[in-house]
Chains A and B, each alone.
Chain A
Amino acid sequence: MNILVPVKSVVDVELNIRVKDSHIVEDGLNYILSKWDENALEAALQLKEAGGGEVTAVTVGPARSGEALRKAMAMGADKGIHINDPATEGSDSWGYARVLEAVARKGSYDLIITGRQSQDTDMGSTGAFLAALLDLPLVVNVIHMERQSEAGRLEVHRKGDGDTEVIELALPALITANDSLNEPRLASLKGIMAAKKKPLETLTLADLSLDASQVGAQGAAIEIMGFEAPPGRAAGKKFEGEPEEVTAQVVGLLASEAKIFT
């Protein structure tokens, strides 16, 4: 099975992110592979290990995004495609999906797996847009994959509201990975060294016959007006006294302030 896994390099949210003049301060930030993309990649690698084929990781972004791609290859992706074109800067999900569509059309893939959302914007729409553009069947939020499905089909479970839906897909198709789908493997040291020797193709929009006006801020359907740092957490309340009194106070406040009983 040939599988395409779009991966995104995102800001490491473990570090302090500062906002200044409605923009994220890029200085001193650390970039990592978005965590749901690691689940997507792990799923692809497991399918490949069970049934053969090839896993291609693709990323859209500036030079530093190459590191996310290298990590994907260190984990086991066979090759990487890096769309590095300044015109893609400022893209929204729609813009990224258009670039990825062009990449997908250049190759021949039985399955595309994306993360259910990226760790930075939490939008969760790139995968769905991409499926729409490619006219592929789509299942989002996959939590389990059956590996014994017959050729050309794939059985997946997705988390719906309270229930688990079991869906059989005809390939080619696109699925998005929930983080409970698997435990992503660590890149081994051999994998890290091997990644240096794996093919990494760098493309521009022109190579994909795309026009700068279709992507980036120009082609965006939404405009981000600004960023705000989340408000600081309000101080907690401390209750003192006899257990009966304290319990009554807490229950009272849970009802009147937290409104958890309504």
Chain B
Amino acid sequence: MQQQAPSGYDLFQPTEEAALLRQTVRQFVEREVEPQAARHEREERFNRELFRRLGELGLLGITVPEDWGGAGMDAVAAVIAHEEITASDPGLGLSYLAHSMLFVNNFFHNSNQTQREKYLEKVLSGEWVAGMCMSEPEGGTDIQAMRSTAVKSGGNYILNGRKMWVTNGCLDDHNPGDVFLVYARTGAKISTFVVDRTMEGFSLGQKIRDKAGMRSSPTAELVFSDCRVPAENLLGAEGESLIHMMRNLELERLTLAAMALGIARRCLDEMNRYAGQRTAFGQPINQFGQIQRHIGESYAEFSAGRCLVYDVARRLRLEQPGMRLETDAAKLYTATMAKNVADRAIQVLGGYGYVGEYSVERLWRAAKLLEIGGGTMEAHQKNITRDLSRNPRFFR
């Protein structure tokens, strides 16, 4: 590999692999993702075949080591993939994140050999669609209020409870997704279980319809009713969930922030192009100061967010936590940034921005989710303040 001179360091493509990855995912998105994005969103339908293609390309195991059939790439690579896919189809980006980050990356780092042999191949190929079940109908942010329970009985755990808002929870109206990490209470503490669709007592409660955006990503309520989970499907030891969550949360937030970058970049691209072509009062609308403000501020905010996300990605180590403050900040800033940029894009496009053909209203609806899912803004604000109060000398 050619050694880059330090002055030639590229934050967004720090290595040749990163540059090749971006090129490849972008090519894939142009050819196969963009042509189907608007339709699947409109029809509120998950594109199962396209998801398998993610597996064929190796995207579903992006952070899993090569020895285990993954691509063995780092956090920067995960950010690149999420940014590129989401710039075209945020719903697909969300389902990709739920599968490869919320399930695969978490599962890999906390599973044993037998568990990996049982599940890894199926989820890396895309034969199985996976997700993570934390939130419940009665509570999301307040994890400690979790009601689902798992009670050991012989060689099984008997799981009872309902999980809400599960991305990839269903494939269509009738079929649940294939495999999930499920958090449930074992006594006072919370434990993590791998539950797959073959297990008795596991069923699809309902497909959640009529989401504001991200409609090509299926969301479901899942029901566990005396669900018999073999004891060997307990991830790690009983009561270890908080450790699993801690390990994975940073990468989850970072890739959610990467999705925000994708949305903002696309919106900026759309408004910039449109403003150069559309004329009013005898000149292109990008000659008007108020339009310039929309574009100028969007570019500045997008650039700031992009530097933040890639800088955090560069420093994040997949195996060790330690970037909670930074990843909270990255998601908090970029989610609202993306929403504002999308909003300005609609404004710049006028009436055309308000209809589906020009994509920006779809991105705008998608952006709002990033202020809620994977931690609400309020949760990030709370975390940041807590971390800073413990470490007043946060600056180096």
Specify the chain A residue showing the minimal Cβ separation from B53: A186
Query: How far is the CB of A129 from the nearest CB of chain B, in Å?
Result: 28
Identify which of A63, A67, A192 contacts B71 (C-beta below 8 A).
Answer: A192
Are B20 and A70 in contact, CB atoms less than 8 angstroms apart?
yes
> Which positions 25-82 of chain A face chain B at CB distance < 8 Å?
32, 63-64, 66-67, 70-71, 74
Q: Which residue of A lies closest to B58 (CB)?
A: A189
B17 CB within 8 Å of chain A: yes
B16 at the interface (CB under 8 A from A): yes
Interface: A190 (CB within 8 A): yes
Q: Chain B contacts of A203 at CB under 8 A? A: none
> Quick check: A189 and B62 within 8 Å, CB to CB?
yes
Interface size on B, residues (CB 8 A): 23
A187 within 8 A of B: yes
B24 within 8 A of A: yes
CB distance from B83 to the nearest CB of A (A): 15
Q: Is A147 an interface residue (CB 8 A)?
A: no
Residues of A close to B27: CB separation below 8 A: 186
Evaluate contact between B17 and A192: CB separation under 8 angstroms: yes
B28 CB contacts on chain A under 8 angstroms? 186
**Given the complex of chains A and B, what is the CA–CA distance between A191 and B24 in angstroms?**
11
| Cβ contact of A32, chosen from B23, B56, B71, B72, cutoff 8 A | B23
Q: How far is the CA of A240 from the CA of B1 in the complex (A)?
A: 61
Residues of chain A lying within 8 A (CB to CB) of residue B57 = 186, 188-189
Query: How many Cβ-Cβ contacts under 8 Å join chain A to chain B?
Result: 57
B:55-88 near A, CB below 8 Å: 56-59, 61-62, 66, 71-73, 77
Which residues of chain A (152-194) have a CB below 8 Å from chain B? 186-193
- Assess whether B20 is in contact with A187, with CB atoms less than 8 Å apart: yes
Roughly how many angstroms separate A188 CA and B77 CA in the complex, as a whole number? 13
For chain B residues 212-268, which have a beta carbon within 8 Å of chain A? none
B73 touches A193 (CB 8 A): yes
Assembled-state Cα–Cα distance A64/B2 (Å): 8
Looking at the assembled complex, report how far the CB atom of A75 sits from the nearest CB atom of chain B, in whole angstroms.
Answer: 9
Q: Which residues of B contact A188 (CB under 8 A)?
A: 24, 56-58
Pick the contact of B24 from A64, A66, A192, A196 — CB < 8 Å? A192
Instruction: Let me know if B1 and A189 touch, CB within 8 A.
Output: no
Q: Contact between B24 and A70 (Cβ–Cβ < 8 Å)?
A: no
* Chain A neighbourhood of B72, CB < 8 A: 193
| Chain B residue, CB-CB nearest to A32 | B23
- Cα–Cα, bound, A186→B58 (Å): 11
Q: Which residues of A contact B304 (CB under 8 A)?
A: none
In Å, the complex CA distance between A64 and B5 comes to 12
Residues of B within 8 A of A193 (CB): 17, 66, 71-73
- Complex Cα gap A70–B16 (Å): 8
Which of A189, A190, A195 has the largest number of chain B CB atoms within 10 A? A189
Q: Kindly list 16 other residue pairs between chains A and B, CB separation below 8 angstroms, not including A192-B17, A193-B17.
A: A64-B2, A67-B2, A67-B16, A70-B20, A186-B27, A188-B24, A188-B56, A188-B57, A189-B57, A189-B58, A189-B71, A190-B58, A192-B20, A193-B71, A195-B20, A196-B1
